[in-house]
Structure 1
Amino acid sequence: MDSALKSLGMDPERIRRHQAAIENAYRSSGAPRFAIEDTCRLDNGGIQPLKGFSPAANASNAPRDIVAFVPAAGAASRYSTPLFQLTSCLESADCSLEEIVGHMESLKSEGAAFWPLPASIASLLKAEDLRAALQSLDRHSLLEDLQLPKALMPCVAEGMTFLEMKIREHEAIESLVGQLYVVPPRQSKAFLNAAAAVAHQIPIQVLEQGPDLSTIRFLPSGEPFREADGSLSPVPAGHGALAALFPEVQRIYPTARSIFIRNIDNVMGAKDPALRASRDFLNFHQMILNSIRTIRDSLSQSDWRSAGEAARIILNQIQASPHTAGDQSTWPTCPERRSLCELQIRLFHSKPRGTNLDEELKELYSRPVNTLGQVGNTGKDVGGTPCFVRVGDAVEKLCIEVPHASPEDKMKFLTDATKATHFNPVFVAAEITRSADYYAARNQDFWLLSEKSYRGQKVVYYETVLFELLGNSRLANCAFVDVPRLVFNPHKALKDAIGVRLKRWLP
């Protein structure tokens, strides 16, 4: 199988890890689930309020080495569901003009003239003589517009695309040093051409979501599923696979230390409240990262005094966390080491075991620094919930997805807005790891067993969720912070943007 995987551009060792995890899941009780001990909230220190940080501290730590990292490889199939019948018709070799007219008239009756659509489709919907307009139009070009990646679809009535909106937002934040978009295979040129049409000062680059971010389909037995010709069957391995691209960011932007992750279809605009929320969030991350880097440098020289002082700077500003403080009599009496332990417990919720404290502290502080901005739950939101969970004999902090919670815990914690006060990491700032395999090599538990029907057979494959890897106290020095709901405006369907014009988002 190794040679077949290599011919597909995949790493055999990584795929074998996926296979072993699947086989183990079927031998036991399925993919891992984690018992929720409590949710992370402002009142228990699991989530930090940004307003608790003084302007002076923030001002001195303005970000200067952060790259915007935008997953933009998603297809628009779900977003464009109302256009499915028209698209299917145009894909058919025997699609008649009358059929196309019928589908267009049906869309008109649904109010599609007011949806944000590519210019070619929008003009057809407004044509007085639809049949004549269709006769003079190239069907192949029309089909291409219907099959555009979501990033290149309009998000407002005036026709501005999600990609252009993201570029405008990044320009307004000002202090980013670069932008990197993860795009579908063979779409680099289309994205770069679209980006070039938008005035921008912050450099833009793209990376294609290639086979190195995929896995293969397996049978429930653990054997690889084979296509009719005997070949392996590749499938995307989930957003968690994007972590393998982090070192590429630093190769493209050598001064970068962190990435700022936001989904392409979440629009926040470039008005002052959204920009202030972005800058406050990035300033918080930068302050924490700068202090942790000082701690690392000091510990590498066994300078415990300087390391302890750097820890104390953060401790003086963060909210106390009674949830994991525990018995402080077990903490070290040395003031410097005590501060370093206290910071791990209060902010990152990683409790040193104390077996070899000095080495353990060095190891804990060597982990990447990740900050996740969580928005308030209106009472109907579930998913990406920051929680304290039990993993083995330890309580860890995790941005948990619903499949990793039991039905009982989902009901008790995740669907109760008085407990799940926050959800969805709409902003994520992640320190760039040097190794492309950093998260994958350390991740034995935080994955999803995806079960699907494919070509008439039950198949399974290994998936990871990016924010479960980044918002994970086993794998990173992660902190959850409160960000305002106004920056969370996902566009999951065309109708989410009906009647929305640029003035809502841009000054």
Structure 2
Amino acid sequence: MNTGLKDKVLAQGMNPDIVVQQIENFKNGFPFLKITAPATPVDGIKVLSESELDHFSQTYPEKASKIDVVKFVPASGAASRMFKDLFSFLESDGDLSKSSFVQKFISNLSKFAFFTDLDDSLKSKGNSIQSCLDAKDYKSIVNELLSDEGLGYGNLPKGLLRFHAYPSENRTPAQEHLVEGLQYGIGKGNTVKIHFTVSPEHEEKFKAEISKVLPGLKASSGVEFEVTYSQQKKSTDTIAVTMENEPFEEEDGSLLFRPAGHGALLENLNDINADLIFIKNIDNVVPDRLKEPTKTYKMAIAGILLEVQEKVFEALRGLDLAIDHESVGFAAQVYNAGLGGKIPAPISSGSLEEVAGFLKGKLNRPIRVCGMVKNTGEPGGGPFWIEEEDGSLSLQILETAQIDLNDPNSKKHFSTSTHFNPVDLVCGTKDYKGHSFDLLKFRDMQTGFITEKSKSGRDLKALELPGLWNGAMAGWNTLFVEVPLITFNPVKTVNDLLRDEHQ
């Protein structure tokens, strides 16, 4: 890196060594991962029997009451993509017949939880939804919903939109996550701890929304709440480059750095001090009438993690005390049966000390249990077995971009996969001595993503860090558990709120 470029990087508070590596990543790209098989209920995905479901969901609450539990909710994304079709309609001639999406939106207005707020906002300006409908002035309705002069939904994060209507209130996803926390997130001190990652411009609005609903929740439940917030760290931004892989310069000569995707939130997760951390996206919430399956399976996957983790800790303590056939045999059993790990033949035929060293390295890692739903054609990462550099196999959540679909074997494994990742994770981030792992040491920096964007009419390449539940957790011990499809109800467009699961 030449001196002038280095000075610019330093002037913007970024690390020159990291920027050099990022530019190399643009030039070289990222290698595909070596898939050996899809993870399926036959091999890699655990399908719980009724008795197992009962056992894990019933043993979890007592264990949770003695540990620190945190619900980690990525909530910084803006909702603007939810309203893509409505924004297009505002730029059109206003002919409703040209957009079936907008027709559906307009004809079902009364079914949205924000209907009353929207009507009140229009009435404050001497209008109403009904008068706009009578005049066929649909643009005024859409504009009132999206613009900052109205409800401002076009610029708000998903977490602050009214998703669900109840007889006495209309809830946002942020509020639904608080309610959900009461069902499976009560930890030590009879407290629900929830951490939202938010964008700087929305933090105060989040705090205002939470402060409105918390007193009522505390009073009705008798449970304490501890709600915290963090923002994606500026230091995790990645440099943008031209199509020729040169640093992209703004008109004022400064370098363009961009937010690096949800993988940047690994830093935020790394700052959480807890014994058990649930991760779930902000928009994956349902009304109270459908919360029971989520509650049951969340407790079950957490119960599985705590039970497996106890055995892992026992095995590691045993290896600390002595390296003998008993301690190594037990550690191997935990690795094979408890974690689904597969010891490479060259290792298993080595000395007792070599096997013990391998097992210590594999067991002393963060652990996660991930819910997996049957693949119904939704886009998203899937569960696969991949081969590590040491010859061992591990379970990973892969995005399509990480798979070489030109390779016949990889394409076959991809096409025969049966499940996908709904972002339903529970994580153990402390070691057997009670110390928090440095999670940054367990990510695979060779699993980032390069995308093409534009700025000021100029094409550019952008770099995303390894995804939070993909490469950012590549070095974790991973278990996959099948969860029912009803536990996955994301809201990608505003009309998704018309589905039965959100009514």
TM-score, with normalisation over the residues of structure 2? 0.77
Q: For the Cα contact (< 8 Å) 1:114–1:499, is it kept in 2?
A: no
Q: Which residue of 2 aligns with 1:219?
A: 242
In structure 1, give the amino acid aligned to 2:80: S
Q: For the Cα contact (< 8 Å) 1:115–1:494, is it kept in 2?
A: no
Matched, 1:385 2:382: yes
Matched, 1:279 2:299: yes
Decide which of 160, 164, 169 is 2:171's aligned counterpart: 160
Matched, 1:184 2:193: no
Give, in angstroms, the shift of residue 397 of structure 1.
Answer: 2.4
- Any residues of structure 2 matched to 1:406-421 within 5 Å, and which? 406-407=404-405, 408=408, 411-415=411-415, 419-421=416-418
Matched, 1:341 2:341: no
Q: Distance in 2 between matches of 1:361 and 1:258?
A: 23
Matched, 1:19 2:23: yes
Q: For the Cα contact (< 8 Å) 2:26–2:245, is it kept in 1?
A: yes
Q: 1:446 to 1:155 in 2, by over 3 A?
A: same
Q: Distance in 1 between matches of 2:387 and 2:328?
A: 26
- 1:118-153: CA deviation from partner (whole Å, max 9, x where unpaired): 754344395344499x89x99743163432111111
Q: Where does the alignment leave 5 or more consecutive residues of structure 2 unmatched? A: 218-223
Q: Distance in 2 between matches of 1:261 and 1:78?
A: 22
- Any residues of structure 2 matched to 1:81-480 within 5 Å, and which? 81-85=84-88, 109=106, 111-117=108-114, 119-123=116-120, 124=122, 126-130=128-132, 140-142=148-150, 144-157=152-165, 159-176=170-187, 177-199=192-214, 200=217, 201-250=224-273, 256-270=274-288, 271-299=291-319, 301-303=320-322, 334-346=325-337, 347-351=339-343, 354=347, 356-378=354-376, 380-390=377-387, 394=391, 395-407=393-405, 408=408, 411-415=411-415, 419-432=416-429, 438-439=439-440, 442-463=443-464, 464-469=466-471, 472=474, 475-480=475-480
Q: For the Cα contact (< 8 Å) 2:56–2:300, is it kept in 1?
A: no
In structure 1, give the amino acid aligned to 2:24: A
Q: 1:391 to 1:225 in 2, by over 3 A?
A: farther
Q: 1:54 to 1:72 in 2, by over 3 A?
A: closer
Q: Distance in 2 between matches of 1:235 and 1:501?
A: 35
Q: Distance in 1 between matches of 2:370 and 2:302?
A: 10
Q: For the Cα contact (< 8 Å) 1:114–1:498, is it kept in 2?
A: yes
Give, in angstroms, the shift of residue 17 of structure 1.
Answer: 2.9
Q: 1:22 to 1:84 in 2, by over 3 A?
A: same
Question: SS at 2:447's partner residue?
Answer: coil
Structure 1 window deviating more from structure 2 (425-434 vs 230-239): it is 425-434
In structure 1, give the amino acid aligned to 2:420: F
In structure 1, give the amino acid aligned to 2:303: N
In structure 1, give the amino acid aligned to 2:38: T
Q: For the Cα contact (< 8 Å) 2:276–2:428, is it kept in 1?
A: yes
Q: Where does the alignment leave 5 or more consecutive residues of structure 1 unmatched? A: 26-30, 90-97, 251-255, 306-333
Give, in angstroms, the shift of residue 165 of structure 1.
Answer: 1.1
Give, in angstroms, the shift of residue 226 of structure 1.
Answer: 0.8
Q: Distance in 1 between matches of 2:333 and 2:149?
A: 61
TM-score, with normalisation over the residues of structure 1? 0.77
Q: For the Cα contact (< 8 Å) 1:214–1:237, is it kept in 2?
A: yes
Task: Report percent identity of matched pairs.
Answer: 24
In structure 1, give the amino acid aligned to 2:194: Q
- Equivalenced residue count is 444
Q: Distance in 2 between matches of 1:304 and 1:121?
A: 68
In structure 2, give the amino acid aligned to 1:414: F
Q: 1:170 to 1:2 in 2, by over 3 A?
A: farther
CA-atom RMSD in angstroms? 3.5
Q: For the Cα contact (< 8 Å) 1:153–1:161, is it kept in 2?
A: yes
